[in-house]
């Protein structure tokens, strides 16, 4: 199978390294090599760079893409924000000759040139299309039967559909299918496709608004009986994990719903050590979910 240029970004590697660890181990098992993109930077953050100055946003993103172009590999990233920035930049520069020229003039200052000959792909889409549900299901050693999961797609994984086209953005199934390959159940909940609240620079500029979104989502997930949240974006992950403590501080509302990035979640199902997944340092304890998995293990004898 194809190898990828592995784009890290910021929040995953600099806050939740268990996501990175799980991904590296998992893809090795699936026979896919994740190659480091040496010297890559922030994607850059779409909420700030995209909002402040489009040319800066495109240029830094294009620089990151040129690293993968030099490697001759498609990019894989597991952050919706990074995916949005890199995909959109790649898309725009491929379709807008003037923008490409402008960006290349800037990149020439550092001896780089954007060519547009690689693809930008999202980790979850690679799992679904390249690895496939069968191989994922076959790799599950600790089935998560009986665990109710609230899947959170986030925004920039699927949207804008006109450009990305991975799945139907109003009613997608791709993540639910991956989650259910572990034996867990994906529960439907109200406003499932709504944003976590962190995007567009809203978290840093107006935390109250961001947390109002998050509380909305958590309330709906709780009402649906979710045991845990599974996301595919470290920023959404942070918003749900840290956000729950912030909501508690601000309003006194406690949810205590464990949060897993899909890489961590699959890691659990594949029998990885929870400590290697760094789920023990999450703000919201994941014990309740792990205990339930433990219980299931006892019943099924761990198989």
Partner 1 sequence: MNFICVIKKVTVDKISARYICTDHQPRYENYKFSRRPVTKGVKKMRSLKKLKNFLTGGEAEKEEDENKSESEMSEIVEEERKPVESETKQQTVPAVEEVKKEPVVEEKPAIEETPVVEEAEPVVEEETAIDEVEPVAETETAVEENVEEPAAPKEAEVIEKTKKDEPKPKGSGSMSLLNKEENLIRAEEVEPGFKQEIIDAGAETVALCYQCGTCTGSCPSGKRTPYRIRNIIRKSLMGLKTEVLNDETIWECVTCYACQERCPRGVAIVDVVKIIRNMQSKAGKMAQAHKMTGVFVLKTGHGVPINDATMTLRKRVGLNELPPTTHEYPEALEEVRTILKKTGFDSLIGYNWETGEIE
List contacts with partner 1 (CB under 8 A). Answer: 8, 10-11, 13-15, 17-18, 20-21, 24, 36-42, 44-56, 59-60, 63, 96, 106-107, 109-110, 112, 155-156, 159-162, 169-170, 191, 193-195, 197-202, 204-206, 209-210, 212-213, 275-276, 278, 281
Q: Minimum CB separation from partner 1 for residue 298, in Å?
A: 27
- Residue nearer to partner 1 on the CB measure, 13 or 148: 13
- Residue nearer to partner 1 on the CB measure, 10 or 133: 10
Q: Minimum CB separation from partner 1 for residue 142, in Å?
A: 19
Half-sphere exposure of 1 (CA within 13 A, CB side): 16
Half-sphere exposure of 286 (CA within 13 A, CB side): 23
| CB environment 130-148: b (16+ within 10 A), e (fewer) | bbeeeebeebbebbbeebb
Q: Minimum CB separation from partner 1 for residue 125, in Å?
A: 17
Residues 169 and 177: their CA atoms lie apart, in Å, by: 15
Sign of CA dihedral 140, 141, 146, 152: negative
- Residue nearer to partner 1 on the CB measure, 202 or 284: 202
| Cβ atoms of residues 95 and 106 within 8 Å | no
- Residue nearer to partner 1 on the CB measure, 204 or 251: 204
Q: How far is CA 286 from the centre of its chain?
A: 18
- Residue nearer to partner 1 on the CB measure, 80 or 181: 80
Q: Minimum CB separation from partner 1 for residue 275, in Å?
A: 8
């Amino acid at each position: 199978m194809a190898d990828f240029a592995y784009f890290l970004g910021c929040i995953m590697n600099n806050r939740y390294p268990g996501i990175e660890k799980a991904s590296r181990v998992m893809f090795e098992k699936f026979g896919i090599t994740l190659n480091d993109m040496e010297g890559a930077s922030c994607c850059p953050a779409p909420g700030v760079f995209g909002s402040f100055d489009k040319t800066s946003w495109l240029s830094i993103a294009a620089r990151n893409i040129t690293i993968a172009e030099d490697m001759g590999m498609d990019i894989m990233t597991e952050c919706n924000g990074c995916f949005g920035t890199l995909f959109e930049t790649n898309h725009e520069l491929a379709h807008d000759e003037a923008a490409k020229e402008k960006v290349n003039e800037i990149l020439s200052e550092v001896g780089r040139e954007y060519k547009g000959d690689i693809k930008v792909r999202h980790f979850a889409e690679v799992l679904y299309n390249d690895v496939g549900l069968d191989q994922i299901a076959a790799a599950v050693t600790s089935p998560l039967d009986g665990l109710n999961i609230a899947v959170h797609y986030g925004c920039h994984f699927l949207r804008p559909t006109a450009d990305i086209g991975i799945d139907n953005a109003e009613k997608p199934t791709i993540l639910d299918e991956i989650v259910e390959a572990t034996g867990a159940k994906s529960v439907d909940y109200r406003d499932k496709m709504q944003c976590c609240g962190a995007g567009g620079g809203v978290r840093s500029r107006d935390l109250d608004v961001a947390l109002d979104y998050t509380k909305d989502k958590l309330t709906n997930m709780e009402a649906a009986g979710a045991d845990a949240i599974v996301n595919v974006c470290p920023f959404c992950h942070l918003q749900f994990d840290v956000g729950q403590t912030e909501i508690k501080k601000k309003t006194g509302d406690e949810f205590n719903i464990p949060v897993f990035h899909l890489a961590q979640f699959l890691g659990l199902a594949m029998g990885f050590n929870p400590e290697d997944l760094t789920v023990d340092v999450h703000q919201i304890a994941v014990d309740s979910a792990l205990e339930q998995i433990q219980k299931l293990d006892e019943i099924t004898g761990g198989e």
